[in-house]
Structure 1
Amino acid sequence: MQQYRVLVINDFEQKGGAEVVYRQSAELLRAMAGVEVECFDASQLHGSLSLLARSWNLAAARALKRTLITYRPHRILVHNYHNALSASVLGVIARYKRELGYAAFMTCHDFHLIYYSPSLHYIMNGHIKHLALDALRTGHVLTLRVSAKGAVHDIFSKAYWHAVRAVYKPERIFDQIICPSNFMQEALLHRGIDNTVVLHNPSVVTVTNKPVSVRGRERFSLAFVGRVVREKGLAGFIELARSIDFARIERIGVFGDGADREAIERRYAPLVESGKLVFFGSLPQDRLFSELRRFADAIVLPSVGMEVAPLVIVEAAMLGLPTLIREGVHRLDFGNTVGNKITYRDDPQSIRAALDELATHLATPERRYDVREFLPQRYAEGLADIMRLR
């Protein structure tokens, strides 16, 4: 039997959804017969990440070079690099790909390959707007503000992005780019990147729970799961709930932490004191899922930025829960077969209608959710085929 050494690369070991998939992919590859796996991420580097290091991390490039020479992989799978390892690792991957002859693959967790903002947004009059894919082919994108840190930072960010693309074209370094959604594949194609394949990220929840019927209830508990930062839209959803006097909403539970948590707790202190807004903080996965089953009737996904493949939809379904989704969070074709999505817009009439639809949905005892496309085994089989490991 052919033996394969696989190196899996990512910015961070622990942080967000991409890091979960990074660890899962390593575990699933490691479980394959004839496959040996080693991981490389910023946790293996010494010292804190300065702004300069995030732009061009020479320590990461040198460490990766040593790893490649020592480990001599047959395959490389990259998840993210631009947040910590930086584009400096691209040259190392390209050089040793020629010398060692490995095949290289990358999972596109965000839109960084094709646009300045990883969430495909721009800022107008202080508000986050989504960029239409057709605009990627025009010079108009140069005029759009993508950074909230001011015009100078915006100019330097764009200049850096173009400089990296002038030196390295990532799509040429990787044999195939793995897209977690059809929309990501479509977005890459708009930039002329066609060496792509769609493979849905695997759910962390591995056991499917039967949806529970909720009859005769007028009010429901909603759970927000994720980082408490501006682009995730929690503050906006709380404000929307207040605009309808929390009609049909018993309480909102916040499962996560982030830079905006303290400000939101201060701003909505009366809601926290009354129990309408409950902060659980970041929880280990096993406890998170059990707490969600205990607390929530539904999950809310109010993101302002564009989500590539929001697995919270799938994981909610596997817990037996529907998901309220703000329109514009992602292309609505993602997870359509699951059957647990209810959408709303940012206006009182729309959220009222969505909550009424949620009540009807929860009262349907025969409802079923289809999560087969997102099971870890399906992902592992797809990864093995794409990376030619069997």
Structure 2
Amino acid sequence: MQRCKVLLVNDFLRKGGAEIVYEQSARLLSTFSGVEVERFDDSHFVEQTSIIARIWNHAAARALEETILRFKPHRVLVHNYHNALSPSVLGVIARHKRSLGYRTYHTCHDYHLVFYNPALQYFEKGRPQILPLEALRTRATFKLRSSPKGLMHDLMTKAYWHAVRAACRPAGIFDQILCPSAYMQEALNRCGIANTVLLHNPSSVPAALVPLPKCGKERFNLAFAGRIAQEKGLRQFIELAQAADFKHIESIGVYGEGPERAVIEQRFAPLIERGKLIFFGSLPQERLFAEMQRFADAVIVPSVCAENAPLIVIEAAMLGLPALVRDGGSMATTADAVGNKIKFRPEPDSLKRALGQLAVHLSNPGRRYEVDEYLPEYYAQRLAEIMEIGELPARPVARAFAALRSASSDLFR
């Protein structure tokens, strides 16, 4: 059988959620018979931090070209590129696609193809707002501030965005664009990008646990997991919890690090002293999920950006936990069929109602969450079908998935 060479491309080797999916896609595709996988990311060239390199990274483009000519892939799957690699790599991919004949795919982890701000945010008086999908491709978007850094920075961002689209036509370089959420697919379609297919990102929790009923609880431990940054909305959620008098909230546990941690620690020092706000730091995934499952009654997703496919909602369901999510953007629509979401608006009364719904939800002995489409083996099979590569994983691989499920069950006991 002829081997199929797959090149996976991503901005960073390690950083955030997209990098986890990048690593998973490489590992899972490698389990298919006849598939050879190679990766390309910022570990393959000397990183340049100048503004010019961020706009157009010649070093990344040269390194990717050398990799393509050496590896001669049959398929190229690009995760993120517009940060460390920059759009400079698009011309390389397009040029050698014509000469080598490979097929190209792009997993759209953010909204950079449809709006100036990849988090689908705009700013009013410095405060972030989620751009409604209905506003895409309207003249109104040019008038909105896509950056909190001032008018000149905003105008330069918009000019650069339009220049890249005119010069590179990013969406047209890829045969198919993989959308981790229906919300992302709708955003692309609204902007005239039709070569899309829905493919949910795989959960990092390898197996689903059976949710256990928690009857009679009136106060809950809530867990935030992720990067502590402005767009993730942790500071705003703590303010909201204070405005709601921490009704039904025992404590908020924070798993992760980020640029807003110091600001939050200083601002909410009295809450930390009282044990209402607890920072656990950044933990390896195997520890993170076990600790969250032991500590939390629910997770929170309070982002003030549209998100895309917040996997923490799915990972919570895999751990048997519900998720309190802000009612906006993709948070409000991702995994509607899973059954573990409780929505709130950024108003104290809305949060109180949501916490009351949480008490009822947790006390239901029959609650179950539907997560099959987010299991790693489902993602691997669907990705291989879309890219038309490989054969079904061999039996040892299936046994490996079973071992992962068994190990995870032992881990969370």
What's the TM-score, normalizing by structure 1? 0.98
Aligned to 2:301: 301
Aligned to 1:364: 364
The whole-number CA distance in structure 1 between the counterparts of 2:85 and 2:199 is: 24
1:48 offset after TM fit, Å? 4.4
Other structure's SS at 2:330 match: coil
Aligned to 2:6: 6
Other structure's SS at 1:330 match: helix
Other structure's SS at 1:189 match: helix
1:43 offset after TM fit, Å? 2.0
Aligned pair in 2 of structure 1 residues 122, 358: CA closer, same or farther (>3 Å)? same
Higher relative contact order, structure no. (Cα contacts within 8 Å, ≥ 6 residues apart): 2
Aligned to 1:208: 208
Other structure's SS at 2:166 match: helix
Q: Structure 1, unaligned stretches of length 5 or more?
A: none
Other structure's SS at 2:136 match: helix
2:207/2:375 contact within 8 Å kept: no
Aligned to 1:282: 282
1:14 offset after TM fit, Å? 1.1
What's the TM-score, normalizing by structure 2? 0.93
1:302/1:329 contact within 8 Å kept: no
RMSD: 1.0
- Deviation sequence 1:251-297 (CA, Å, 0-9, x none): 00000110000010010011111111110111100000011011111
The whole-number CA distance in structure 2 between the counterparts of 1:225 and 1:329 is: 19
1:130 offset after TM fit, Å? 1.9
Mapping 1:62-101, distance limit 5 Å: 62-101=62-101
Is 1:171–2:194 an aligned residue pair? no
1:181 offset after TM fit, Å? 1.1
Other structure's SS at 1:137 match: coil
1:205/1:315 contact within 8 Å kept: yes
1:218/1:359 contact within 8 Å kept: yes
- Deviation sequence 1:37-82 (CA, Å, 0-9, x none): 0100012222443322111111000000100111111100000000
Aligned to 2:139: 139
The whole-number CA distance in structure 2 between the counterparts of 1:47 and 1:343 is: 41
Q: Which moved more, 1:129-138 or 1:255-264?
A: 129-138
Aligned to 1:270: 270
The whole-number CA distance in structure 2 between the counterparts of 1:106 and 1:131 is: 23
1:183/1:331 contact within 8 Å kept: no
Q: Structure 2, unaligned stretches of length 5 or more?
A: 391-413
Other structure's SS at 1:287 match: helix
Mapping 1:122-137, distance limit 5 Å: 122-137=122-137
Is 1:60–2:68 an aligned residue pair? no
Aligned to 2:111: 111
1:2 offset after TM fit, Å? 2.5
2:106/2:174 contact within 8 Å kept: yes
The whole-number CA distance in structure 1 between the counterparts of 2:342 and 2:86 is: 38
Is 1:316–2:328 an aligned residue pair? no
Aligned to 1:45: 45
- Deviation sequence 1:341-366 (CA, Å, 0-9, x none): 00111111111110011011111111
1:303/1:329 contact within 8 Å kept: no
The whole-number CA distance in structure 2 between the counterparts of 1:131 and 1:197 is: 23
The whole-number CA distance in structure 2 between the counterparts of 1:315 and 1:366 is: 19
1:212 offset after TM fit, Å? 1.7
Aligned pair in 2 of structure 1 residues 260, 331: CA closer, same or farther (>3 Å)? closer
2:122/2:146 contact within 8 Å kept: yes
Other structure's SS at 2:257 match: coil
Is 1:386–2:386 an aligned residue pair? yes
The whole-number CA distance in structure 2 between the counterparts of 1:141 and 1:204 is: 36
1:331 offset after TM fit, Å? 5.7
Amino acid at match of 1:194: A
The whole-number CA distance in structure 2 between the counterparts of 1:331 and 1:251 is: 22
2:221/2:253 contact within 8 Å kept: yes
1:45/1:60 contact within 8 Å kept: yes
Aligned to 2:160: 160
Is 1:335–2:373 an aligned residue pair? no
How many matched pairs?
Answer: 390
The whole-number CA distance in structure 2 between the counterparts of 1:75 and 1:197 is: 16
Is 1:120–2:120 an aligned residue pair? yes
Aligned to 2:400: none
Other structure's SS at 1:307 match: coil
The whole-number CA distance in structure 2 between the counterparts of 1:37 and 1:50 is: 31
The whole-number CA distance in structure 2 between the counterparts of 1:49 and 1:40 is: 19
